[in-house]
Amino acid sequence: MFGFLKKKDKKAKVEEVVEPTLTEEEKQTLNNQIQDLTKQIEAADPEEKEAMAKLYEQLGLAYAQLDDTDQAIKALETSLDYKLTIKDGYKKLMSLYNAKRAEAARNGDDAGIDYYMNKMDDMRQIAKKVTISG
C-alpha cells in the first residue's frame, strides 16, 4: 500500500549507457568538417574574437563527436579564450572535464582528480561571469 514502507531491492539493475558508434561515413564527414574548420581558422582574422570563438567551438564539438577528447578540450578551451560563453561548447567542455576526472578517479590518480576538479571550478567561475555580465 505504501511504497516507502516496502523493502528496497538491493539487486536493482544498473543500465549501462551505450554511446552510439559512428559509421565510417559519419567519421569521414566529421574529419572533412575538421579539415574545413581548420582552414577557416587559419584564414580568419584573430582579432575577430567572436568568429574565432565560434570556429574553435565548432572544431571542439566535432573532435568530441569523434571521441578525440584531448583535441576537443584544446579547441574548446581556445574558444573560451576568445570569448567567454556558456553555450554548447561550454557544456561539452564541462562534461569532458568531468569524464577526465572520473577516469583519473578510476585510476587512483589524485593529481588528475585535483587538476580536473580545478578545471571544473574554473568553468563554474566562467558561468558566474557570463551570467552576471549578461
Domain membership flag for residue 33: yes
Task: Measure the CA dihedral 17/69/56/35, to 10°.
Answer: -100
Q: What is the pTM of this model?
A: 0.82
Look at residue 18 and tell me if it is in a domain.
no
> For residue 87, what are the CA distances in angstroms to 53, 105, 117?
11, 27, 20
Query: Is residue 123 pLDDT above 60, yes or no?
Result: yes
Taking only the tens place, the pLDDT of each residue in 102-111 is: 999 999 999 9
Is the predicted pLDDT of residue 96 greater than 80, yes or no? yes
In a domain, 7, yes or no: no
Q: Angle 49-65/88-106 helices, nearest 10 degrees?
A: 40
Domain that includes residue 54, residue range: 24-133
